[in-house]
Amino acid sequence: MTLPPDGIYPGVAFPTYLGWDAWGSSSLKSMRLGPPARVLWERENPREDTDATILGTRAHALILTPGLFNAQYVELPADAPDRPTAAMLAAAKPSPASVERQKWWAEFEARAAGRTPIKAADIEVLRNIQDAFDAKDRAAMSLASATVEASMVWTCQTTGERCKGRPDWYDDAYVYDLKVTRDAGPRLAYKAFVNGWMHQLAFYRTGLRTLGVPVKTGRLVAVNPAAPHYVWCVECREADLDVLALEAEGTLKAMRDCRIAGEWPGTPDEWTRIEMPQYAINETVSMADALEVEDGE
């Protein structure tokens, strides 16, 4: 799909954005996790949706673009009958119950007009998530004038690689990301780093700055999908995103080299020596010192 010139493009459909041939944050994450071969493999083998990702996608739509949510989904009544199977309908003489069920579904689908049905119980969960989000007044005030789900394309000023991003919200000071995750809790700072959410915010911030938006840092809104749907609103340190932005440049350089060479290697066919990370060594030494003190006492 043709990649547009560098710029910010509101209102682009998500499938169109996905088709743009540029590096997104998910490709950079694949490169970080390694080996480089993972980047192309994951591009060619999109992950199948799970119950968790489906819930997250729907909650995103409801919170960020409620009009689009209503255009894409329709509530399935709690008393909806099961669909009759093809075998039931293909019988020489389908039962009256099968015929009635088929009639009900035909009428429902005509009213749905192509929208995806969601069970009433699942709609209630989504509404509860939305209510929990809406109850965060200060977050709502911050986001009231923010731009929602604009797609952007930019050229990395260090590597020349074309990049793309689609932040959930941004304004002149912050780039925001919404996560519906069971990691929404006291350990969110750790999870935000390990899961790559801080890296994503740093990458999007770089894109916005390159395109002339003076974003300072990033904020994360994490909603727990389990009742009572606690919402955590956190802000990243600007210095931390500076470090991650530099890391992203290094990742893009490695990706550029692989692209130009046409080689995306897998894991090495040899024994690779590993060492304890320095922080683990320091902690171990400190613990040993403390034990020696205790023994001396």
Sequence length of the chain is 297
Cα Rg of the chain (Å, integer): 24
Closest CA to 165 of 202, 197, 207, 193: 207
pLDDT digits (tens, 9 = 90+) for 259-289: 999 999 999 999 999 898 887 888 787 776 6
Least-confidence region, from 36-45, 87-96, 163-172, 247-256: 87-96
Q: Is the dihedral of CA 137, 138, 142, 145 positive or negative?
A: positive
Please report, for residues 34, 158, 162, 174, 222, the alpha-carbon distance to residue 256 in angstroms, rounded to integers and kept in the order given: 15, 11, 10, 29, 33
Give the closest residue to 252 by CA, choosing from 202, 296, 208: 202
Q: What is the mean pLDDT of residues 137-144?
A: 90
Q: Which residues contact 206 (CB under 8 A, 6 or more apart)?
A: 154, 156, 163, 245, 248
Does residue 228 have a cis bond before it (omega within 30 degrees)?
yes
- For the segment 57-103, what is each residue's pLDDT rounded down to a tens digit? 999 999 999 999 999 999 998 888 888 776 666 666 778 888 788 88
Q: In the predicted model, what is the mean pLDDT of the chain?
A: 91
In whole angstroms, give the CA distance from residue 217 to residue 172: 10
pLDDT at residue number 94: 74
In whole angstroms, give the CA distance from residue 10 to residue 106: 36
Mean pLDDT of 115-136: 94
Write down the pLDDT at residue 5.
Answer: 97
User: Per-residue pLDDT averaged across 224-237, rounded?
Assistant: 95
Strands 169-170 and 147-148 come out as antiparallel
